[in-house]
Amino acid sequence: MASTTITVTARRSLRTRWNALADRVERWVGHDILALVARLSIAAVFFQSGRTKVEGLLTITEGTYELFRSEYKIPLIPPEIAAHLSAGIETFVPILLVLGLATRLSAFVLLGMTTVIEVFVYPDAWPTHLSWAAIQLYLVARGGGRLSVDRALGIH
């Protein structure tokens, strides 16, 4: 009986300490840090992809046009238009995210792009796309946090 009481007490003590530690971490990290890291990480993924499609600021490369003609093949949108849309979105929306400007809308735009990529271009890459979507959904739902231009402008 005494052994059982000690085991139960030890478990409660461990659980209490664990929960106290979790509470401290949650207060230290919080939404504002999570939102900043989420904005920077997903912005980096898309910005780097966008830079591979262009020369200079926004001159679409011939290789990009060819990718959209042969590999990407998005239905209903001509490859030349899709190439320009993709390069523009991947260049400018990440900048908005880094600033935390129009965060929810920007994340929603990238979520739409992620969905198109998953459905029409690389359906077998769903683990990667799911991780992107998780970040984007967090930002759509919670916004850019206090460390954003949105917050400075009073946008939640």
Encode pLDDT of 107-147 as tens digits.
Answer: 999 999 999 999 999 999 999 999 999 999 999 999 999 99
Given a cut of 80, whether residue 156 has pLDDT beyond it is yes
Dump pLDDT digits (tens) for 26-39.
888 899 999 999 99
Strands (E), 2-151: 54-55, 59-60
Strand pairing report for 54-55 and 59-60: antiparallel
- Alpha carbon 150 to chain centroid, angstroms: 17
Residues with Cβ < 8 Å from 108, sequence gap 6 or more? 136, 140
Q: First CA to last CA across the chain, in angstroms?
A: 55
- At 39-83, the pLDDT tens digits run 999 999 999 999 999 999 889 999 999 999 999 989 999 999 999
Residue 94's H or E segment, with its range, is helix 79-99
The pLDDT-based confidence of 1 (bands split at 50, 70, 90) is low
